[in-house]
Structure 1
Amino acid sequence: MPQIPTTAGGGPMSYAIFQLARAHRAYAAALLREMDLHPGQELLLMQLFDRDGQTQSELLESVGLDHSTVSKSLRRMQDAGLLVREPAAHDRRVMVVHLTDKGRAMRGPIAALWQTLEAASAGDLSKQQAESFIDTACAITKAIHSRALPHEESP
Structure 2
Amino acid sequence: MKRDQGDVHMERKDEALTATVSYSIFALARSHRALAAQLLREINLFAGQEIMLMYLWNNDGQSQQSLGRSIGLDHSTVAKSMKRLEEAGLVTRTRSNQDGRVTLVYLTETGRNLEAKVNDIWKELEQITTRGLTSSECDIIVSLAHRITASIDAADAPFGVSSVPPIIKEDI
TM-score when scaled to structure 1? 0.89
Instruction: Output aligned runs, 1:18-97, within 5 Å.
Output: 18-97=26-105
Q: Per the alignment, in what secondary structure is the counterpart of residue 139 of structure 2?
A: helix
Q: Per the alignment, in what secondary structure is the counterpart of residue 93 of structure 1?
A: coil
Change (3 A) 1:55 1:151: closer
Change (3 A) 1:109 1:150: closer
Which structure is larger by alpha-carbon Rg, 1 or 2? 2
Detail structure 1 runs of 4+ shifted over 3 Å in the superposition: none
Q: Does 67-76 or 48-57 show the bigger shift?
A: 67-76
Please tell me whether residue 120 in structure 1 is matched to residue 120 in structure 2.
no
Change (3 A) 1:30 1:89: same
Change (3 A) 1:150 1:8: farther
Change (3 A) 1:39 1:150: closer
Change (3 A) 1:101 1:31: same
Structure 2: gaps spanning 5 or more residues: 1-9, 161-172
Which of 9, 16, 20 is the aligned partner of 1:9?
16
Structure 1: gaps spanning 5 or more residues: none
For the 8 Å contact 1:84–1:100, the answer to whether it is kept is yes
Structure 1 residue 97, shift from structure 2 partner: 0.5
Structure 1 residue 9, shift from structure 2 partner: 2.7
Change (3 A) 1:5 1:32: farther
Query: What amino acid maps onto 2:137 in structure 1?
Result: Q
For the 8 Å contact 1:48–1:98, the answer to whether it is kept is yes
Structure 1 vs Structure 2 CA RMSD:
2.1
Change (3 A) 1:6 1:68: same
**Structure with bigger RCO (C-alpha 8 Å, 6+ apart):** 2
